[in-house]
Amino acid sequence: MDREDHHDDVPAGGGIRIGLPRPDSRPRGLPRLQPYESQDQRRITFVLNPSPSTLIAANGITWNFGDGPSTITATTQLTNVHAYGAAGTYTVSALYYYRGSTGASIPVTDTTIVIISPLLPKSITFSPSQPNVLEAVTFQAINFTQAAVRWDFGDGTVVASGSTVQTHAYQNPGTYGVRVYDGAADLSPAATSVTVVNKRTLSAAPRNPIRARP
């Protein structure tokens, strides 16, 4: 039996028909594995999209995320989220079933490649470098993955869900420790310190005071 005899039952577009040599032709409407990367560099949402009428949902979908046997899960959901613990290149597969032209249940494995880049070190920048009391200071969280971050400006002011660019003004001179957390679960915040001065007080003193002659 040549490959053309299986034209109606063999998947294509990335799907691999188990037990048959031809992976380059499958009925239209079958799902294809598409990766979507969220703002967290190591949390990926995988979607078998679109949901076809030919998919046999009762047979379930078995996912293998490529980073160990414990990550294989069986579900009827077409969407699955997985968090990777380390950078690397992973082969992700989804085993599902569709009904062929003869009514038989046919297993299909669809695969995709995921590349997780190393996380860059987090840091904080701010401007101006030596702000005055009540002067607005612009802070920026660098290499953070969450859209909403938690700021602690060291003077009792905490912004629980702020943006990665945040403005703050200090009421009193001093040196303040600033921390920013990459979401509520971050245990390794970025930290820096900012020294606030009172320039008005400094400028009030004469530069060349006149001393009385003895």
Residues 105 and 9 in one domain: yes
CA distance 141 to 159: 13
CA distance 147 to 114: 22
Return the pLDDT at 48.
76
Total number of domains in the chain? 2
Residues 133 and 184 in one domain: yes
Q: Model's pTM, two decimal places?
A: 0.50
Q: Is residue 177 part of a domain?
A: yes
Residues 135 and 162 in one domain: yes
CA distance 94 to 112: 9
Return the pLDDT at 23.
34
Return the pLDDT at 87.
79
Q: Is residue 169 part of a domain?
A: yes
Per-position pLDDT tens, the chain of length 214: 333 333 333 333 333 232 322 333 344 455 666 665 554 556 788 887 655 666 777 778 888 888 887 667 677 777 888 888 777 888 888 888 887 777 788 888 888 888 777 778 899 999 999 999 999 999 999 988 777 899 999 999 999 988 999 999 999 999 999 999 987 667 789 999 999 999 875 544 555 555 556 5
Composition of the chain by helix, strand, coil, percent to 5: 5, 45, 50
Count CA within 13 A, CB hemisphere, residue 49: 8
Give the phi and the psi of residue 57 in degrees, each rounded to 5: -65, -30
Query: Domain of 197?
Result: 123-203
CATH of the domain at 65: 2.60.40.10
CB atoms within 10 A of CB 33: 20
Residues 65 and 141 in one domain: no
Return the pLDDT at 21.
28
